[in-house]
Amino acid sequence: MEWLINAAYYIIPFIVLLGILVFVHEFGHFLIARLCGVQVTDFSIGFGKELWGFTDRHRTKWKICAVPLGGYCQFLGDADAASANSDDAVEELSADDKKKAFPFQKPWKKLAIVLGGPGFNYLFAIVVFTMMFALLGKFSFPPVVGEVVAGGAADKAGIVAADRILEVNGREVENFSDITTEISLTVGGTAAVKLQRGDQILDFEVPLEMMEVEANGQTTARPMLGVKSVNTMELDHQKMSWPAAFAEACNETWRITEGTLRGVGQMITGKRGSEDLGGILRIAEMSGDISKKNGWLDFLAFMALLSINLGLINLFPIPVLDGGHVVIYTVEMISRREVNAKVKENLFKVGFALILALMVFATWNDFVHLFHRFFA
C-alpha cells in the first residue's frame, strides 16, 4: 500500500503539471488562430484513445486522451496535428471554409499562430511570478547546501548537504548567490565558513579547490567551494507593487531563459556533460519530490520554470517544433512564395527523427539517474 501512495505522489503532480502546461501552450495556438479567423478542428490534451470530449459551437472538438504526454491543436485543412502537410482534400473545401483553413492563410498569420504557443508559455510564467512577488513577496534560494561536489573543497572540509551557511569570511550571506560572490572575493585561497547544522553553529577553514566555470562564453579555473543549491525557495515577505512585481517577473523570466540557453550552449560545445539532459521521467521525479517535500508555492514556481523551458525549447529552429515552422514561414514571407511541399515534408522527417533521438537519449539519462538514486 505504501508503494501505491508513493507512486501517487509522483504520478498525480506530474499529470497535473504537464496537463496545465500543455493546455497553456496549445491554448496560445488556439486563441491566436481564432483571432486570425482560422478554424480549429481539434484541441487535445494527451494522445491516443479519447477518454472525454465535446464539440463547441465553433465546431472545435475538445478532448482529453489516454496518453497524457503532450497535446495538440489541429486546424482546418491540416493533414496532421503538426501542420507539416495539408490535407489531400483541402482543395475540395468550400470557398467559405478555405477562408478559415490554415493552408490558405498568409505567412504572417501562420507565423503569429505558431508563436502563440511559446508566447503563452512565457506569459503564463510572467503572470505567476508577478502574482507571487505582488501578493507574497520576492522569493530567493536560501544559502542551504543541496549537494556537495564529490572531492571538492567543501567535501574535504566536512560540509554536508542541508548545512545552512551563515557567513563567508565574516560576511553574512542571505541567499545562495551571496556565497558565490564572497568566495570569489576570498584572499589567500582559504575561506572562513560559519554554518548551522541542526542546532549547532560550526566554523570551518576551507582551502578552496580550483574548478572550471563558464562565464561570458569563456571557461576559466577559479577557486570554488564546491556546493550546489537546494531546489526549495524562501520568501522575504516584502510585497512589491504590481508594476515592480511585473518588472521583476520579466527579469526573472529572462534570467531563466539566459541560463537555459547558456546550459544548452555548454552541452553543444562539450563544456557541460550531456548527462544533465533530462526528459519526462526527470520532470516526473522533480515534480513528485517538490510536491512531497515542499509546498504548493515551490510547485507553482517549478511550473513557471518549466513553462519557460517549454516555450524556449519549442522556439528552437528544428522542424516539427514551433521554431521550425517560424523559420519556414519567415522564409515564405521574405521570398513571397511557399516552400516546396516535398522539401517541407523531408525537413519534418529529419526534425522528427532528431526529436525522437533526443527523447530516447534523455529517457536513457533518466533511467541511469534513477538507477543511481535508488540502487547505487
Among residues 2, 26, 209, 338, the one annotated as catalytic is 26
Give the integer Cα–Cα distance in Å for 258 and 315.
Answer: 14
Answer yes or no: are the C-beta atoms of 253 and 129 closer than 8 Å: yes
C-alpha cell of 254? Answer: 529572462
Single-letter amino acid code for the residue at 353? A
Q: How far apart are alpha carbons 102 and 115 in whole angstroms? A: 15
Q: Are 274 and 361 in contact (CB under 8 A)?
A: yes
Is the four-CA dihedral 98, 41, 313, 142 of positive or negative sign?
positive
Nearest to 225 by CA among 192, 263, 259: 192
CA 363 remoteness from chain centre: 16
Cβ atoms 300, 235 nearer than 8 A: no
Give the CA distances from residue 290 to residues 10, 91, 213, 360, in Å, rounded to whole numbers and listed in that order: 9, 51, 28, 25
- Burial label, 129 (beta-carbon count in 10 A; 0-12, 13-18, 19+): buried
Q: How many Cβ atoms are within 10 Å of 350's Cβ, its own excluded?
A: 13
Instruction: Report yes or no: 182 and 169 within 8 Å, Cβ to Cβ.
Output: yes
Dihedral sign, CA of 220, 223, 226, 227?
A: negative
The answer to whether 137 touches 240, Cβ cutoff 8 Å, is: yes
**Residue where the block lists cell 523559420:** 327
- Interatomic CA distance for residues 19 and 43, integer angstroms: 13
To the query of whether residue 338 is one of the catalytic residues in this protein, the response is no
What is the Cα–Cα distance from 60 to 62, expressed in whole angstroms? 6
The grid cell for 112 is: 503569429
Residues facing residue 159 across a β-bridge? none
> What whole-number distance in Å separates Cα of residue 179 and Cα of residue 9?
33
List residues with catalytic annotation. Answer: 26
